[in-house]
Chain A
Amino acid sequence: MPEPAQKMKTEGSMALQLDGISKRFGGIQAVDEVSFEVEPNSICGLIGPNGSGKTTLFNLVSGFYKLDQGRIYYGSERIDYLRPHRRVGIGIIRTFQITRVFPHLSVLDNLMIPTSDNRLLALFRSARAARRRTRGEELLSLLGLQRLRDEPAGNLSFGQQKLVELAMSFMIETSLIMLDEPSAGINPTLINHVKDWIRAEQENGRTFLIIEHNMHVVMDVCDKIVVLHHGKKLADGTPKQIQDDPVVLEAYLGG
């Protein structure tokens, strides 16, 4: 077993609460007074047709866009005015739809980057501390990427980069992980691994908010699903409820 300090946070997941959040780009209302809650320690899916505002909503929660209206709470703390790195500091991390790793750093070094410690002293500590290396190597062997450890991450295939990016979210004590299409570009066998992994991390106390187009994945892993359409929340509920909801069916599943 790894030493205790390294053990990832098993408690501290809190509810993410979106309270009437809106974002407009010129004439497009990308997100329109959306409210919902992600219960602690749950897996929440975010679905909707292209252009329905899913990624914009991610950018709002992670702090890359400023809200036009509304509030975002994590637990009891209001977070919508915090800069992105501060939100990571309190436990919220995200991945990107178009995978973003650091292409010129090695795969293992990519895993050394995520941090919640920006104090001056921490800046001058060794970047490859043994503890983090061990954790990084563990994750890489779990993903079958250990052979590529020292390869610049930019040389990896799209699917492999996706996995590296996913692993980066598990390197620090994050309690809410936001994944933007984690199964895109990954082969079916590996999708199952990723699903298992997400479930295992849920058991470790983590909360997930997942944008996903693969309905099998969504229906399979999510406790709750939120459907967006033209920036508005169309419905939310359990996978069963969503599958049976005529409004959703019409707008999204084929209607």
Chain B
Amino acid sequence: MKALAAVRPHAGRIAIALACLLIVVFPLLVQERYYLHIAILVFIYITLVQSWNLPGGFAGYISFGHVLFFGMGGYTVGILMNLFNVGPTWSILAAGGVAIILALLFGSISLRLRGVYFAIATLAVAIIGKLVIGNVEALGGAEGMLLPLPPWPIDFEKIPFYYAAAGTAAAATLTMVLIRRSNLGFRLLALKDDEDKAEATGINTTKHKVIAFIISAFFPGIIGGLHAYYIGYINPAANFSILYSANVLVMAAFGGIGTIGGPIIGATTFVVLSEILSYSVGSQFRLGIYGLILVLVTIFLPRGVISLRETLRGRRRPLREQLEATTLEGGD
């Protein structure tokens, strides 16, 4: 008991360390490549949800358009590798650069809109991006294009992708942890609460939103490029599929919007669940179950699964809190 009590304050850190260790040795533990594939998907989605969460969860600017950065990342890699013979690493980094430029151009215009109007603008741009790319003959039109195979032996096929995706997901997560503690993170939370008040306290709200949007585009660009190289084939319908945007939203809402742990929980749960459901109950029921889970979580845990512990704890002590609240009111 005593030992447990001593460990308890560090429980969070120990859990994180163990999780990191597990991620590092996971490829050595599993024989089936299928599991690596699932893990890669998990990392891709963690990256996307963490990124989406910066404008979406911190600042309250819900984007349906993050698939644009993902898709453009994929096409940047396709174009550079196929047409210009650039190596995969540089191509993937360039994908992040392209996403930044797009976010700067699109963000500085669309972030003037608030609430649902911003969401609509992002959706529109994602669809336009898909249509434009799909109509360029040089990029294979609707058929898309094949990418060069990785140079390493087929037996290792997935392992480099696994580590690259894990690294990207970790970098995205760490970035969000740092931003959360920074002025940028605080000010985004403030402008989510009251944008005019934020402006009235001296915050250049436009600048903060645009910078948040740029950061949140970078990682999807990178992971989109990595994904394209991993799958080896890109086409507008798949790489710009609005399902990515929808999944990201669902995962964020499930795990907990505006938190660091929420995107991890949401992405992991939904990717794994979707695989399990696909071969147990079949794809046709899968989406229904998805929906049901989301409805239940929204009703009972509106702040996501991550708030489970708080919610349980909160139920146990409403009386005391009420009493405290009245005393404070009286002392005013």
Contact = CB atoms under 8 A, between A and B. Distances in A.
Contacts of B205: 85
Interface string B198-233: 111111110110010000000000000000000000
A124 B183 contact: yes
Contacts of A187: 332
B182 A118 contact: no
B218 to A, nearest CB: 14
A118 B207 contact: yes
Nearest to A110: B190
Contacts of B211: 120, 123
A113 interface: yes
A111 to B, nearest CB: 10
Contact of A168 (B178, B193, B201, B207): B201
B203 A85 contact: yes
A113 B207 contact: no
Contact of A116 (B183, B196, B202): B202
A86 B184 CA distance: 17
Contacts of B190: 102, 105, 113
Indicate the member of B178, B193, B201 with the most A CB atoms within 10 Å: B201
B284 to A, nearest CB: 41
Contact of B332 (A88, A126, A159): A159
A104 interface: yes
Chain B: number of interface residues, binned into ranges? 20 to 34
Interface in A121-148: 122-128, 147-148
B154 to A, nearest CB: 43
Contact of A122 (B179, B183, B189, B332): B183
A102 B328 contact: no
Nearest to A186: B332
Interface residues of A, number: 42
A17 interface: no
A102 B193 contact: yes
B329 interface: yes
Nearest to B191: A102
Given A85-B205, A160-B332, A102 B183 contact: no
A182 to B, nearest CB: 15
A123 B178 CA distance: 11
Interface string A72-115: 00000000000111101100011010001111110001001111
A102 B189 contact: yes
Contacts of B204: 83, 85-86, 118
Contact of B196 (A64, A104, A147, A155): A64
Contacts of B185: 127
Chain A to chain B: the 7 pairs with minimum beta-carbon distance, closest first: A88-B202, A127-B186, A118-B204, A102-B193, A114-B201, A123-B184, A100-B197
